[in-house]
Structure 1
Amino acid sequence: MCRLFVGADPALWEKATHSLRLHGVSTSIRIEAFFWRVLEEVARRDGLTLNELITRLYDEVAQADRDAVNFASFLRVCCGRYLALQLAGEIPEDRAVPIRTLDAQAILERERRQRLVTVDAG
């Protein structure tokens, strides 16, 4: 089982640093190359640059009063959720469908109901 993961291209888990400006402030984010690839895919789906996507995520997590002290971890979780939501059929595999056109509230409500069912069944 582990060979499937261990045998993957090591470049996927090599850290890569991207420098950008968030509201005029220079910063850099260091995460694995695999996650940069996923973030680039998400950005392309909505016609954004990688920097524009990261700025939007940063702004929206701040507006939601969420603690994003470790923003790099937040970005990794965003990638995992994107891939998991694709597998669950909530995000179409067709990359021409922008994520901004999806009904986020309906998706979150379905997830909440599913968690309740899982807890009740457990």
Structure 2
Amino acid sequence: MCQLFIHADPTLWQSSTRSLRIDGVVTSIRLESYFWQILDEIALRDGMNVTQLITKLYLESLDADHDISNFTSFLRVCCARFLSLLADGHLQREPLQALEEVDAKQLMHSEAQDMQRRALWQLPSKPEQH
């Protein structure tokens, strides 16, 4: 199992920092190249570049009163959720539909059901009774 991860392209976990302007303020974000690639893919679906996507995520997080003190962790989780939604079949890999057009409420409901099913897999099995 570990060979899948150990022999992956090492450039995937190399970090890089990008400077960008969010709401008029210059800031920098340091992420592993794999996360930058995923953010590129997400941005492409909605006809944006990564800076525009990150700005949109940041401003919408503020509007939702989220604690964004660790915004880079939030971005990593966004990437992981995107990949999970792809893996579970809730989204298609090809950018057929902009994420802005997705019924987020329905998709999150389906995602929650999938998470509940996965939680059941982790329950300890009952000992067999003889």
TM-score, normalised to structure 1's length? Answer: 0.91
- Residue identity in the other structure for 2:69: V
**Paired position in structure 1 for 2:66:** 66
Structural mapping, 1:1-122, within 5 Å: 1-115=1-115, 122=123
Identity over aligned residues, as a percent?
43
CA distance in 2, matches of 1:118, 1:84: 12
CA distance in 2, matches of 1:41, 1:2: 26
- Secondary structure of the residue aligned to 2:94 is coil
Richer in helix (by share): 1
Q: Compute the displacement of 1:118 (Å).
A: 6.1
Q: Indicate if the aligned counterparts of 2:85 and 2:111 stay in contact, CA closer than 8 A.
A: no
Q: Deviations over 1:3-28 (max 9, x none)?
A: 11011111100001010001110000
Q: Which moved more, 1:44-53 or 1:110-119?
A: 110-119
- Residue identity in the other structure for 2:25: V
Which sections of structure 2, spanning at least 5 residues, go unmatched?
124-130
The alignment of Structure 1 onto Structure 2 pairs a total of residues equal to 122
TM-score, normalised to structure 2's length? Answer: 0.85
- Residue identity in the other structure for 2:52: E
Per the alignment, do residues 64 and 110 of structure 1 end up closer, same or farther by CA in structure 2, a change over 3 Å counting? same
CA RMSD, Structure 1 to Structure 2 (Å): 1.8
**Paired position in structure 1 for 2:126:** none
Structure 1 or 2, whichever has the larger Rg, is 2
Q: Indicate if the aligned counterparts of 2:14 and 2:32 stay in contact, CA closer than 8 A.
A: yes
Q: Compute the displacement of 1:96 (Å).
A: 3.0
